[in-house]
Amino acid sequence: MAPENRGILHSWPRWFAVSALVVILDQLTKYWVSHWLAAGESVAITPFFNLTLTYNTGAAFSFLSRASGWQRGFFIAIATSASLLLVYLIIRYQRLNLFSLGLSLILGGALGNLWDRIFLGHVVDFLDFYFQSYHWPAFNAADSAITCGAALLIWDSFRRRPAK
């Protein structure tokens, strides 16, 4: 193996460790909330934030949540395909730190929600932010990681890179 490639084998595990940490934190928070609250139950934490246990069979913003059940397999297929692509991209671009961090957060979030879909048939959501009577759709730690990862990818896209 050429010396310049030797470091590549040791760069990507940290990105998968980030993804694994996201999955673990996501599943632990969902487990805790699911055992502390009943479905639909809400506990006020601040004047703008509740813990509210909800189950989402759809995608973001409950998209397709009222479909007849076909959406579960559809979303599992999409999340699996996206996760495989993310693994490839992380390995391929592992030396681009901000880019790889963003991909790692998205991968961890995708896997956390994929776990729910496969084993529960729905995604557990519980973070409920609101202003007066307007409530943002409930979400979870995996969704937060996906959002932060996407923000990092956008930020990274605006950074200047040296020409090859």
Domain-embedded: residue 22: yes
Task: Please tell me the total count of domains within the chain.
Answer: 1
- Within a domain: residue 48? yes
Q: Does 147 reside within a domain? A: yes
**Residue 126 is assigned to a structural domain of this protein:** yes
Residue ranges making up the domain that contains 17: 13-158
124 beta partners: 55
In a domain, 104, yes or no: yes
Active site positions, annotated: 125, 143
Digit-by-digit pLDDT tens for the chain (164 residues) are 444 444 445 689 999 999 999 999 999 999 999 999 999 999 999 999 999 999 987 666 555 555 556 667 888 999 999 999 999 999 999 999 999 999 999 999 999 999 999 999 999 999 999 999 998 899 999 999 999 999 999 999 998 766 66
Establish if 4 belongs to a structural domain: no
- Indicate whether 163 belongs to any domain: no
The residues, ordered by sequence, that sit 6+ positions from 68 with a Cβ below 8 Å of its Cβ are none
